[in-house]
Amino acid sequence: MKITFYGAAGCVTGSNYLIETEKFKFVVDCGMFQGSKTLKENNYKEFAYDPKSVDFALVTHAHIDHTGLLPKLVKKGFTGPIYATEPTVDLLGFLLPDSAHIQDVEVMQKNRRNERKGLPPLEPIYDEFDAQKAISLLKGVKRYDAFNPVPGCTVKFYNAGHVLGSSSIEVIIEEKGESRKIVFSGDLGEKDHPIVNDPDQFKQTDYLLVESTYGTRVREEVTKEERLNKLADVFARAIERGGNIIIPAFALERTQDLLHDILTLKQRGQAREIKVVIDSPLATDITRVFTRYPECYDEDAREILQKMGNLFDHPDFRFTATVEESKALNEEKGIVIMSASGMCDAGRIKHHLKHNLWKPENTVIFVGYQAEGTLGRLIIEGIKTVRIHGEEVSVEAQIEQITGYSGHADQNGLLEWMGSIESVRGNVFVIHGEPDSSEGFASLIQQKFGFRAIAPKMGETFDLPASVKEAHKQEIKPVYAMSGVAQVPPQGPDSHNLYAELMLKLAEFMRYTKDENKRRQKLQELLGRL
């Protein structure tokens, strides 16, 4: 039996692992590469394996970096079942067509540019038809119910506490009279996260794939009460200023987490004046999926559900349905507008920022991680002017940040999860992290728990011997590394990000430096260096 790492190895996105036995083949996750342009270019490459030869797929959770290339897998000939929990299946019913739509718009824009440059047009990675075909192959499974996708293979989904429906997956494979267990952690949530339950833990496995987004980082601990107090405090100050409150939030989980916290405040008699408009059709659809699965909520969330009717059904919450309704929000005052994308690099949030950033009475609240090179990151770093849809917008609004909503366990959380595992007979593969994070966490696992751990690189294949005893005699090293697989850029911003930042800084310099001599001197200096 062999495993090959085709994504989220040496980077966080593009999760995709292929397991090959003598009798069958399957993939776990088939995600899109996100982030820098260099990473995103991988989405356009051919798969390094033949999708027709794959018997089935398992999906840990609905995030696009774990599922976004399922329609491409189908487009390239995969016809097998795709197993996921029922909430994940429902969420993908909205997320995959949305992803197809985004491809469409992106490729159209790229092609307009390519045409002007005299370059050949690009084909979208997939279209809505492929997304619908992928959706038709989805099979919903219940957590903790074991099933056999093929003879000799038993699969069970557990809770990973990351987003609604998110799972760790246990796979038991019988081969040559030997049975081997592989646990795929999936993305692991942190304890006390709003709505979802804390992750399940494991006692024993032969092989383990564990995520390491925060493998070397310890976040400042924010308790639920601290998070709620901060939110109440920011709201109170924003209301005093009298303007609008803009919250960029991911459509899946972050939007619902915030609504949950706002309801909790309201239940305690706080944030009474807060009226929220959810201006994201995707977030609206996803919120509807949440209302179908109260059994996936933790006790606190269920309690609110009972006391306040339906968790997301409150007179102070409004969901916009049409573009006209969304545009009409420009005329309103004193409301909270929650919209996607969470990092402000696409979607309706850009319109709202354009209309609200330049007014000092408004407030923008960031509740999530802002990746390098995104508009959100520039704003929290204190840039004075931003460009949105080709227009310069001055940043005058109050900028606030609230931590405590992270969807990922930090190093302490990951170590605690690992701590319940008493034995790993084979070895641990540390994945889904930047190289220093995965490698750092792999050595920590060796030191702390004495398990053999390695951070595989993109395209590396490892033998998982039939006898786990054999595995221990061998050194863990790849049997081979494929060439032509996904490329991982070096850490930090790539050249495209640096170029964008340089242009913005230059525009800012020209705007605020009025002295002609200073301007000429600086610009000549810069030109001389190029």
User: Residues interacting with Zn ion, by CB under 5 A?
Assistant: 63, 65, 187
Q: Which amino acid is at 153?
A: C
Asked if 39 and 491 count as a contact pair (C-beta separation under 8 A), the reply is no
Comparing CB distances to Zn ion, the nearer of 163 and 262 is 163
Going by C-alpha positions, the residue among 339, 353, 364 that lies closest to residue 388 is 353
Going by C-alpha positions, the residue among 292, 327, 329 that lies closest to residue 311 is 292
Comparing CB distances to Zn ion, the nearer of 64 and 274 is 64
**DSSP 8-state code for residue 279:** -
Question: Rounded distance, CA 129 to CA 396, Å?
Answer: 44
Query: Which residue in the block uniquely carries the two structure tokens 């267990």?
Result: 181
Question: Rounded distance, CA 414 to CA 437, Å?
Answer: 12
Region of 339 (left: φ > 0; alpha: ψ -120 to 50; beta: rest) is beta
Question: Rounded distance, CA 409 to CA 429, Å?
Answer: 17
Comparing CB distances to Zn ion, the nearer of 65 and 198 is 65
Q: How many other CB atoms sit within 10 Å of the CB of residue 399?
A: 15
Could you tell me the smallest distance in angstroms from the CB atom of residue 186 to Zn ion? 8
CA distances, 487 to each of 89, 245, 374, 429, 482 (Å): 30, 40, 21, 19, 11
Comparing CB distances to Zn ion, the nearer of 18 and 246 is 18
Comparing CB distances to Zn ion, the nearer of 124 and 189 is 189
Q: And the tokens for 69?
A: 């290339």
Comparing CB distances to Zn ion, the nearer of 166 and 427 is 166
Asked if 161 and 122 count as a contact pair (C-beta separation under 8 A), the reply is no
Question: Rounded distance, CA 228 to CA 404, Å?
Answer: 9
Q: How many other CB atoms sit within 10 Å of the CB of residue 408?
A: 22
432-465: b (≥16 Cβ within 10 Å) or e: bbbeebbbbbbebbeeebebbbbbbebbbbbbbb
Q: And the tokens for 78?
A: 């995969």
Comparing CB distances to Zn ion, the nearer of 61 and 355 is 61
Could you tell me the smallest distance in angstroms from the CB atom of residue 435 to Zn ion? 16
Question: Rounded distance, CA 32 to CA 15, Å?
Answer: 7
CA distances, 214 to each of 161, 407, 431, 448 (Å): 15, 11, 11, 17
Could you tell me the smallest distance in angstroms from the CB atom of residue 275 to Zn ion? 30
CA angle 218, 220, 224 (to 5 degrees): 125
Task: Write phi, then psi, for 73 (nearest 5 degrees).
Answer: -60, -40
Could you tell me the smallest distance in angstroms from the CB atom of residue 193 to Zn ion? 12
Residue 341: asked if its preceding bond is cis (omega within 30°), the reply is yes
Could you tell me the smallest distance in angstroms from the CB atom of residue 282 to Zn ion? 16
